[in-house]
Chains A and B, each alone.
Chain A
Amino acid sequence: MNSFTFNLRAIVPYLGELKMAVVTTVAMSLSTIVLSLAIGLFFAVLRQSRVAPLRWLATAYVEFFRNTPLLVMLYFAYFMMPVIGLRMSPFQSGLVGMTLHFGAYMTEILRAGLIAVPNGQYEAGNSQGMTSLQILRHVVLPQVFRTIYAPLGNQLINIVLGSSLTSAIAVNEIASWMQTAGSDSFRYFETFLIAAIAYAVLCQAINLTRIFIGRALFPDNR
């Protein structure tokens, strides 16, 4: 006996909420990408610093956040921060947890890019009378981003998929929609399938955007 009939039509009434959920997932992912890149760049430069305590600080950050689960960080930001008087909304807590977690990975990716820039490039910049900030901005970073552009793609997808964990702290994104619509309609298989497709499309869209931007930025980087 088999009383299950696959019926995608049953999901139609829930598509309006799915639209809101997709918007939340995109907002969370894009904000995390921008912020974690900024944090990653900051700590990657710090890890190359000549001042030892700065290096230690950056290493401590990377090792702590890279070796703790994202879910724990999210719980920490949402449930524990109010204890010390810092009360953030679910979205804000999610963004903080995601940024700190993925910022650690970004640090390592960017550091790899920094290491790949030969010393001669710095010396050449120095000989032109550039300050170290100018060297970083005009000489080093363009080469760093060209080097890390491909591995960055993995990380962007990880961020989109990682955002599904924020449903645990009451963010109404796609994974949250999946549970809600599934249990309301009892159409779990259908909602799981739709959620999987939504994530696949989002990830692929972000990946393609990255590839096209890459072609414009680094035309000789094939």
Chain B
Amino acid sequence: MFRTKLFAAAVALLLPAIAGPGAQAGEVLNRVVSSGTLRVAVMGSLPPYTNMRPDGQMEGYDIDLAKKLAEALKVKPEFIVVDSAGRVAALQTGKADVTISGFARNVQRSLTIAFSDPYLIVPGRILVKTDSPLKNVEDVNNSKYKLSLNRGGNSEPIIAAKFPDVERLRFNTNADGLNALMSGQVDAMAQDAFYHAEQIAKYPGQLRMLEGTYSRQEDAIGAPAGDSEWLRVINLWLEQINATGENKELFKKWFGFDPPKINADF
């Protein structure tokens, strides 16, 4: 009895610490402007999006974008290194004002945080060994094939819906998924086209991409839910760097080729 009460008391003490209302309109925006710093959550290592140099400075496509955003707001950027899950938690707990880190938006995720308009479209494609009999993306959906994918990626439910018949094997990292392909444990690997392009260059003659795409992932800037004013400013800024071609230039600088079109063909 006493133990039950003690447990209830402990839970009651803990709850206010983890539960609370969302941000108020204008709250994050005001804090950024008045403090003069933009706190940006980024992943430590997701080159060429983000990467930490040996001297501890961050670099990459997403980092350059964050610097440009801070410059437009006339504040200083401050980078907070997080892991994949931390990209959300940093916004939920108010540790970061934005997350810019290869962050794919979807409806499910938008229930907990807010997303800007997309700044980069990432096509999902399938990587196979050069001697594979597969030709089109659709050919993969066959129960005799095995497909490796990233566990917990935004693409996991998309791939499950698109390829219901193939045996889907989930790995924690891209490196493990690629190992599985290289050692013949799987016949194909699902990932974004930019990742595949890098691997094909790294293993010349051994890998190729199948024709077609299986998904259109929209990378966007994450913000704390509740502050629509903050989101309004971010979206206006995004529209402008797209219109001026700055975004395209940045992409080309880090990836070496032109980005896919941002507007969808409906």
**Nearest-Cβ distance from residue A80 to partner chain B, whole angstroms:** 7
Q: Chain B contact residues (Cβ within 8 angstroms of A): what range? A: 35 or more
Q: A172-B170, A184-B156 are in contact. Are A87 and B185 (CB under 8 A)?
A: yes
Q: A6-B18, A180-B151 are in contact. Are A170 and B93 (CB under 8 A)?
A: no
If over half of B's interface residues share one DSSP class (helix, strand or loop), that class is named, otherwise mixed; here it is: loop
- CB-CB < 8 A to A199: which residues of B? none
A64→B188 CA distance, assembly (Å): 34
If over half of A's interface residues share one DSSP class (helix, strand or loop), that class is named, otherwise mixed; here it is: helix
Q: Which of A146-154, A185-193, A209-217 contacts B (4 or more CB under 8 A)?
A: A185-193
Closest 6 CB pairs of A and B: A183-B152, A2-B20, A4-B92, A170-B169, A1-B94, A3-B22
* Residues in chain A within 8 A of chain B (CB atoms): 1-6, 10, 78-80, 82-83, 87, 90, 167-170, 172, 176, 179-180, 182-189
**Nearest-Cβ distance from residue B209 to partner chain A, whole angstroms:** 22
Contact in complex: A90, B169 (CB < 8 Å): yes
* Residues in chain B within 8 A of chain A (CB atoms): 15, 18-24, 27-28, 84-85, 88-89, 91-94, 108-109, 111-113, 148, 151-154, 156-157, 169-172, 176, 179-180, 183-185, 224-226
Contact in complex: A4, B18 (CB < 8 Å): yes
Contact in complex: B94, A170 (CB < 8 Å): no
Contact in complex: B184, A186 (CB < 8 Å): no
Contact in complex: A78, B185 (CB < 8 Å): yes
Contact in complex: A186, B94 (CB < 8 Å): no
Contact in complex: B94, A176 (CB < 8 Å): no
A184→B156 CA distance, assembly (Å): 8
Which residue of A2, A170, A188 has the most chain B CB atoms within 10 A of its CB atom?
A170
- CB-CB < 8 A to A168: which residues of B? 171-172, 176
Contact in complex: A187, B112 (CB < 8 Å): yes
Contact in complex: B180, A170 (CB < 8 Å): yes
Q: A4-B93, A5-B19, A186-B109 are in contact. Are A79 and B179 (CB under 8 A)?
A: yes
